[in-house]
Structure 1
Amino acid sequence: MTRPPFRFGPALLFCPADRLDRFAKALERADAVILDLEDAVAPGSKAEARRAVAASALDPDRVIVRVNPAASADFADDVAMLADTPYRTVMLAKCEGTADLVDLEPFEVVALCETARGVLAAEAVAALPNVSALMWGAEDLVASLGGFSSRHDDARYRGVAAHARAHVQLAAAAHDVAAIDTVHLDISDLDGLADEARDAAALGFAATACIHPSQVDTVRAAYRPSAEQLEWARAVLAAAVGEPGVFAFRGRMVDGPVLRQAEAVVRRDR
């Protein structure tokens, strides 16, 4: 199987899968919608949520469906429902290893590494040919550790959460799949979201997940390069034409890695 290219981003918006009335609006607001059959749906509403997804008629190229964990009682029903829909991109909640993806071979998979086991299994999961992206999650991770807070009082991630973020991104990059940054739970804190999304973009994350439509524009703006960044990137790439190797540009040494960074800036101009 040829690895599917990651085509979403940068702003992915979660939508409860039992709210069919919100599907189209969520997709209209974001770059892609994540129809959530897991945490956003109460246990007693799972069947209703599956019926809503099955009844929907969204652009399948812009839809990701988050299914329940492979070990859950709802997983088989989620997968069976999706087989009869046009939706072929699945986000697997609480992915904890390659065995969790056995029943997802017909689908493109975004593996959500959000437990201790999942973070440690990220590299093996990323190596599977139908995996197009890894995402990490802070809150379920801390819960899996027996903890109760992923952040310090100043809103910075605690060390283990920051480590998990880096580990999942490294695993994704090592296998040439996309990395998705986790949600920012404080909906009113758009400044904090902007800081985190700018950091994610600078490090090479492909997208950031959103939990509210008000977050979408902030994420898009954070991933979009500034005019100054674009001017520099285009200028240094133009200056590199004809240069046989390392050269100086505006007082800075430029080599292969710097040129690849400039190319990354230009790619984000969309």
Structure 2
Amino acid sequence: MSIIDHGPALLFCPADRPERFGKALERADAVILDLEDAVAPAAKTAARGALIESELDADRVIVRVNPPGTDEFAADLATLSQTDYRTIMVAKAESAKQLRGIDRRFSLIALCETARGVAAAEKFAALDQVVALMWGAEDLVASLGGTSSRKPNGRYRDVARVARARVLLAAGARGKAAIDAVHLDISDTKRLAIEAADAAASGFAATACIHPSQVETIRAAYRPETAAVAWARAVLIAAETERGVFTYDGRMVDEPVLRHARATLRRARS
């Protein structure tokens, strides 16, 4: 069972705040214990100690490690070898060669959050050890010399939308899961709901978040409506007695539509 199969809401939690670990896991479908950006350099050693001492359900824990090639990355992996946590999110992944060098005991989520990382998404997805891809908007724009991933109306700029689509397509082409980026404006639940619903409809397996209050908004966005579930069940039953393309409830139904229906039922079950 993939860690993504537990549900669509993945909650980041700073690894230097062990008092929050249990509560974060209770609130979300999986927790991302963050050793990278959420932890100040001076607190990273303590954060690693907290990770070793923690006793969480390892099947629902992702650990975000520092970028490959850094001393912090090496220390993070040494720490993880002393725990039961085996799913790691590689921050600022930019080279498939670097990912190939990671101990094969670990399942990897490649975080494509720089221009080079997005450009390498297809190569990451081709690696057997990689189970999912995620993209990040703010670091991506910073890597391009920009200042904001969003327009004044709150919508993503075109470069962010292209990166999002490219990561999703790269993951899908290899049968891997894709994780949508965090929404930084915690108070903007309307935009989060719109983007999470779009992510679910587009084929993302999950959306990451930074605050417990965002969890239920994401779950609701990924949860198919009752009418959609009923239609999916009915059209799949109808397909059992039909041959090839047919019409159901006034709509043409072919294999892509049936795959949409199966995906709807999978989301309903999860």
TM-score (norm 1): 0.97
In the TM superposition, residue 238 of structure 1 has moved relative to its aligned partner by 1.1
Q: Secondary structure at the match of 2:200?
A: helix
Q: Which residue of 2 aligns with 1:12?
A: 10
Q: Which residue of 2 aligns with 1:78?
A: 76
Residues 214, 110 of structure 1: alpha-carbon distance in 2 compared, 3 angstrom cutoff? same
Q: Distance in 1 between matches of 2:160 and 2:6?
A: 24
Per-residue deviation, residues 37-80 of structure 1 (Å, max 9, x unmatched): 00000011110110010110000000000000002220000001
In the TM superposition, residue 110 of structure 1 has moved relative to its aligned partner by 0.6
The answer to whether structure 1 residue 230 and structure 2 residue 243 are counterparts is: no
Per-residue deviation, residues 143-196 of structure 1 (Å, max 9, x unmatched): 000000101111110010000000000000011100000000000011110000
Q: Which residue of 2 aligns with 1:122?
A: 121
Q: In the alignment, is the contact (CA less than 8 A) between 1:8 and 1:207 conserved in 2?
A: no
Q: Which residue of 1 aligns with 2:148?
A: 149
Gap runs ≥5 in structure 1: none
The answer to whether structure 1 residue 29 and structure 2 residue 27 are counterparts is: yes
The count of residues paired between Structure 1 and Structure 2 equals 268
| Percent identity for Structure 1 against Structure 2 | 65
Q: Distance in 2 between matches of 1:53 and 1:5?
A: 18
Worse-superposed segment, 162-171 or 239-248:
239-248
Q: Distance in 1 between matches of 2:3 and 2:241?
A: 32
Q: Which residue of 1 aligns with 2:59?
A: 61
* Matched letter for residue 42 of structure 2: G
In the TM superposition, residue 106 of structure 1 has moved relative to its aligned partner by 1.8
Q: Secondary structure at the match of 2:187?
A: coil
The answer to whether structure 1 residue 184 and structure 2 residue 183 are counterparts is: yes
In the TM superposition, residue 23 of structure 1 has moved relative to its aligned partner by 0.2
Q: Secondary structure at the match of 2:122?
A: helix
The answer to whether structure 1 residue 239 and structure 2 residue 256 are counterparts is: no
Worse-superposed segment, 206-215 or 224-233:
224-233
The answer to whether structure 1 residue 212 and structure 2 residue 205 are counterparts is: no
Q: Distance in 2 between matches of 1:69 and 1:148?
A: 22
Residues 136, 104 of structure 1: alpha-carbon distance in 2 compared, 3 angstrom cutoff? farther
Q: Which residue of 1 aligns with 2:133?
A: 134
Q: Distance in 2 between matches of 1:5 and 1:240?
A: 32
- Over the aligned positions, Cα root-mean-square deviation in angstroms equals 1.2
* Matched letter for residue 182 of structure 1: A
Q: In the alignment, is the contact (CA less than 8 A) between 2:107 and 2:131 conserved in 1?
A: yes
Q: Which residue of 2 aligns with 1:99?
A: 97
* Matched letter for residue 55 of structure 2: A
Q: Which residue of 2 aligns with 1:198?
A: 197
Q: In the alignment, is the contact (CA less than 8 A) between 1:193 and 1:219 conserved in 2?
A: yes
In the TM superposition, residue 97 of structure 1 has moved relative to its aligned partner by 1.6
Q: Distance in 2 between matches of 1:30 and 1:217?
A: 8
Q: In the alignment, is the contact (CA less than 8 A) between 1:11 and 1:220 conserved in 2?
A: yes
In the TM superposition, residue 250 of structure 1 has moved relative to its aligned partner by 1.0
